[in-house]
């Protein structure tokens, strides 16, 4: 049921039809490893349409991709699949505002200043490329361009707020705000291309802030030079409102991204040296089909992520002529028919600003089939289990409300089925599983296999810190190279003690510097997984010459960082801090500026003065991006204790350990104290 003329899904893709003209896929490759997910759809399928959602239907309302998509379900549309959308402001006054263009169901939600976007035009065609948008208001001596739409108002800023922002502007008292009502009956919302009139509904409000946004109006909010201009407006005055986009196209949906990966079939993002690997999300298309892709990352043994040049090559290999990088990292999410296919790197779905969904606009149909996930045939070793999802759908694979599966039964006693889990029995053989419900049935072949030609392990290699645990998943291949679900408890697992221990597929790393090969045997096959345990490499002991550098944010924070001779022959660093009062973030730093890559973890010894503290580390990657890593949080006594932080995979080299610091983000936090630091190290695989 692959769409006619589909993009080139690779031979190792596991596919599942999700709608006429649409297919989901999963790819896992041991070389990396890499886990790739997505869905492809036929652009000529008129019943399928991309939609851009907004978290909780409000810009500040961050919401998971799955929850955003489920709100699209109604009598006119059914969500089929989705990925997360644009980069966004994660916290603070502008929380939820996207970095690029956002158009949802024809409404302009956020402006773009020439950033790339995936655009669905009014005629249903797609484009990818830079899009510039602007908003001008003029009349009665006023002629201004809005700085922002539905975003926080900064200094010398003019922001237009629509009801999609919320009930009020959430601005401070240092500005002027004006309520604008639509002056033409045919216009009731802001769109990307618009030339209309609005009316000042009441006298400008000065020095108050958080102006209420009526559900049928907007609020124009200005600070600095714009405040003075708005203050001159009068109630009843009419202004011309012109919304423009370049290129000048009608836009029904748009989601912003960062780098254009492919244009006209050519790679346009080449990248540079030491590109970082991260979880990624991308959208691409050719003349007939489109594809959304998510690559997992930052998960040792599961998926390392991709660099942007690697992502561009992936999209090209799929046959895309145009492709765009969307928000990745912990935001990367692929949702298909009620299931999150990938493993988000945060360990759970991250609330995001917007999402790109694929919806079916087909009216609800009659129940016509039972769809099984995963699709058959199913092959298992004795004792292995497989979770099965069975859904009653109409002809377009849209779930039929109120229809459920009644039974699952095998024609031979090869396996048992309980609560959607198929568990193979102890004897080899083949049979047929019949699934029934609502007068419908589906059949799938089930084979129990006790002899394999090879075992495949995920991950194919392990680099761990001492004591770290990692799960090794094993699948089998039969004589024809087909995938077989394997019972991990029936396998024999062995690992040299120097590298650690293993129990039921869970490897626990041994002592520093240990190494060995994990041997997995069973069903006539075997596999090996190299295991390396990281060892410490000194970064800073504070015993050498030179002073320690103290730093602080903001300038009101004071303190010092000095070397102190310890009880023995060595020295340590004493960080004394006076963070001051208030709810804003305040931090006192010990600067390090040490090159540390490659590194699996950070380690230090610390002690305090009995107060509750939050200790963190700052790293700077090869892109110059700062990342913050927690070392300790809690009451820190006067005795030395070790602290450690496992680093995420995929940080771009060269990596610099910029600093360690104590931070407070609430008024209740202890504002004054001292923390001693010593023996700062990184844990590095293969360092011995």
pLDDT of 98-116, one tens digit each? 999 999 999 999 998 889 9
625 or 216: whose pLDDT is higher?
A: 216
CA-based angle 22:23:25, to the nearest 5? 155
Q: Which of 72-76, 240-244, 602-606 has the least mean pLDDT?
A: 72-76
CA dihedral 402, 403, 408, 409 (to 10 degrees): 130
Structural tokens at position 74 = 């109604």
Q: Is the peptide bond before 158 cis (omega within 30 degrees of 0)?
A: no
Q: How many residues does the chain have?
A: 688
Q: What is the mean pLDDT of residues 426-452?
A: 95
- Residue 661 confidence (pLDDT): 97
d(CA 384, CA 426) in angstroms, rounded, equals 9
Q: What is the mean pLDDT of residues 495-506?
A: 95
Checking if the pLDDT of 361 tops 50, the result is yes
CA dihedral 187, 188, 194, 197 (to 10 degrees): 70
The pTM score is 0.77
Summarised one tens digit per residue, pLDDT across range 458-490 is: 888 899 999 999 889 999 999 999 999 999 999
**Which residues does 499 contact at the CB level (< 8 Å), separation at least 6?**
509, 510, 514, 515, 516, 517, 518, 531, 532, 533
d(CA 501, CA 467) in angstroms, rounded, equals 10
Summarised one tens digit per residue, pLDDT across range 570-609 is: 899 999 999 988 767 899 999 999 999 889 999 999 999 9
- Residue 140 confidence (pLDDT): 87
Q: Would you place residue 441 in the very low, low, confident or very high pLDDT band (cuts 50, 70, 90)?
A: very high
Checking if the pLDDT of 491 tops 90, the result is yes
Q: Would you place residue 621 in the very low, low, confident or very high pLDDT band (cuts 50, 70, 90)?
A: confident
Q: Scanning the structure block, which residue is given the tokens 């090794």?
A: 472
- Residue 688 confidence (pLDDT): 55
- Residue 287 confidence (pLDDT): 94
CA dihedral 260, 266, 267, 268 (to 10 degrees): -50
- Residue 6 confidence (pLDDT): 58
Summarised one tens digit per residue, pLDDT across range 502-552 is: 998 999 999 999 999 999 999 999 999 999 999 999 999 999 898 999 999
Checking if the pLDDT of 456 tops 70, the result is yes
Q: Would you place residue 273 in the very low, low, confident or very high pLDDT band (cuts 50, 70, 90)?
A: low
Nearest Cα to Cα of residue 589 among 565, 622, 623, 555: 555
Residue 614 parent element (H or E): strand 612-620
Q: Scanning the structure block, which residue is given the tokens 């549309």?
A: 77
Q: What is the mean pLDDT of residues 375-396?
A: 94
d(CA 569, CA 565) in angstroms, rounded, equals 7
Residue 469 exposure: Cα atoms within 13 Å on the Cβ side: 6
Beta bridge partner(s), residue 316? none
Q: Give the count of beta carbons closer than 10 Å to the beta carbon of residue 668.
A: 9
Structural tokens at position 78 = 């059914």
Q: What is the mean pLDDT of residues 155-178?
A: 95
DSSP letter at 225 equals H
Q: What is the mean pLDDT of residues 369-397?
A: 93
The percent of residues in the chain predicted with pLDDT above 90, rounded, is 81
d(CA 333, CA 310) in angstroms, rounded, equals 19
Q: What is the mean pLDDT of residues 380-409?
A: 92
d(CA 259, CA 129) in angstroms, rounded, equals 9
Checking if the pLDDT of 1 tops 60, the result is no
449 in Cβ contact with 478 (< 8 Å): yes
**Which residues does 153 contact at the CB level (< 8 Å), separation at least 6?**
159, 169, 171, 175, 221, 222, 223
d(CA 13, CA 101) in angstroms, rounded, equals 32
Checking if the pLDDT of 4 tops 50, the result is no
Q: What is the mean pLDDT of residues 565-570?
A: 76
Beta bridge partner(s), residue 253? 120
d(CA 680, CA 602) in angstroms, rounded, equals 8
Structural tokens at position 391 = 């859904």
332 in Cβ contact with 294 (< 8 Å): yes
- Residue 262 confidence (pLDDT): 97
Residue 534 exposure: Cα atoms within 13 Å on the Cβ side: 24
- Residue 300 confidence (pLDDT): 75
Checking if the pLDDT of 74 tops 50, the result is yes
370 in Cβ contact with 114 (< 8 Å): no
Beta bridge partner(s), residue 410? 433
- Residue 188 confidence (pLDDT): 95
Summarised one tens digit per residue, pLDDT across range 647-670 is: 987 677 789 999 999 998 776 667
d(CA 227, CA 206) in angstroms, rounded, equals 8
663 in Cβ contact with 289 (< 8 Å): no
Q: Give the count of beta carbons closer than 10 Å to the beta carbon of residue 619.
A: 21
- Residue 2 confidence (pLDDT): 42
Cα-only R_g, the chain: 29
- Residue 346 confidence (pLDDT): 87
Residue 316 parent element (H or E): helix 308-317
d(CA 52, CA 80) in angstroms, rounded, equals 13
Residue 559 exposure: Cα atoms within 13 Å on the Cβ side: 31
Q: Which of 47-61, 169-183, 252-266, 658-672 has the least mean pLDDT?
A: 658-672
d(CA 406, CA 186) in angstroms, rounded, equals 51
């Amino acid at each position: 049921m692959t769409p006619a003329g589909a993009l080139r899904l690779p031979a190792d893709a596991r596919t599942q039809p999700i709608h006429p003209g649409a297919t989901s896929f999963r790819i896992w490759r041991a070389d990396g490893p890499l886990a790739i997910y997505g869905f492809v759809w036929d652009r000529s399928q008129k019943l399928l349409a991309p939609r851009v959602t907004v978290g909780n239907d409000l810009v500040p309302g961050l919401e998971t991709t799955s929850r955003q998509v489920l709100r699209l379900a109604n009598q006119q549309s059914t969500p089929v699949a989705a990925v997360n959308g644009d980069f966004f402001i994660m916290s603070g006054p502008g929380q939820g505002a996207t970095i690029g263009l956002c158009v949802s169901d024809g409404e302009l939600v956020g402006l773009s200043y020439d950033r790339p976007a995936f655009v669905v035009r009014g005629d249903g065609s797609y484009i990818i490329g830079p899009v510039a948008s602007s908003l001008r208001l003029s009349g009665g001596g006023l002629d201004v361009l809005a700085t922002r739409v539905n975003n926080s108002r900064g200094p010398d800023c003019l922001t237009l707020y629509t009801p999609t922002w919320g009930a009020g502007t959430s601005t401070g008292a240092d500005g002027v705000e004006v309520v604008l009502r639509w002056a033409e009956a045919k216009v009731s919302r802001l769109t990307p291309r618009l030339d209309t009139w609005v009316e000042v509904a009441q006298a400008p409000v000065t020095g108050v802030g958080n102006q209420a946004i009526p559900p049928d109006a907007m609020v124009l909010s200005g600070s600095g030079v714009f405040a003075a201009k708005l203050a001159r407006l009068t109630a009843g005055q009419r202004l011309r409102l012109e919304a423009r986009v370049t290129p000048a196209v009608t836009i029904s949906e748009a989601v912003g991204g960062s780098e254009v990966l492919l244009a006209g079939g050519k790679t346009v993002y080449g990248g540079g040296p030491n590109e970082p690997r991260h979880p990624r999300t991308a959208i691409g298309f050719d003349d007939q089909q489109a594809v959304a892709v998510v690559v997992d990352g930052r998960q040792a043994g599961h998926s390392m992520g991709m660099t942007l040049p690697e992502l561009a090559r992936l999209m090209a290999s799929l046959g895309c002529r145009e492709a765009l990088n969307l928000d990745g990292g912990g935001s990367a999410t692929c949702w298909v028919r009620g299931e999150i296919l990938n493993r988000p790197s945060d360990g759970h779905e991250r609330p995001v600003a917007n999402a790109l969904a694929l919806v079916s606009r087909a009216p609800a149909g009659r129940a016509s089939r039972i769809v099984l996930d995963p699709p058959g045939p199913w092959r298992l070793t004795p004792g292995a289990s497989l979770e099965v999802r069975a859904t009653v759908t109409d002809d377009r694979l849209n779930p039929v409300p109120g229809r459920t599966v009644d039974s699952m039964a095998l024609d031979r006693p090869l396996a048992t089925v309980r609560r959607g889990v198929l568990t193979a029995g102890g004897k080899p053989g083949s049979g047929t599983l019949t699934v029934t419900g609502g007068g419908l049935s589906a059949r799938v072949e089930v084979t129990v296999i006790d002899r394999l030609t090879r075992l495949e392990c995920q991950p194919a290699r392990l680099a761990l810190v001492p004591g770290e645990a990692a799960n090794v998943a094993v699948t089998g291949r039969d004589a024809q190279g087909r995938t077989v679900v394997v019972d991990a408890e029936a396998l024999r697992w062995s690992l040299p003690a120097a590298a650690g221990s293993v129990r039921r597929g869970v490897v626990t790393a041994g002592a520093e510097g240990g190494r060995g090969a994990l041997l997995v045997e069973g069903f006539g096959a075997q596999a090996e997984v190299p295991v390396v345990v990281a060892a410490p490499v000194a970064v800073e002991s504070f015993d050498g010459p030179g002073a320690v550098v103290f730093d602080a944010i903001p300038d009101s924070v004071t303190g010092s960082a000095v070397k102190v001779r310890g009880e023995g022959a060595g020295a340590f660093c004493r960080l004394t801090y006076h963070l001051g009062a208030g709810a804003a973030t305040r931090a006192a730093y010990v600067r390090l500026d040490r090159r540390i890559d490659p590194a699996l973890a950070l380690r230090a010894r610390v002690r305090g003065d009995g107060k509750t503290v939050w200790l963190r580390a700052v790293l700077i990657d090869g892109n110059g991006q700062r990342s913050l890593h927690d070392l300790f949080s809690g009451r820190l006594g006067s005795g030395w204790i070790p602290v450690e932080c496992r680093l995420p995979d995929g940080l771009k080299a060269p990596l610099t350990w910029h600093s360690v610091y104590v931070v407070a983000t609430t008024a209740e936090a202890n504002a004054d104290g001292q923390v001693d630091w010593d023996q700062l190290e990184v844990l590095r695989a293969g360092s011995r």
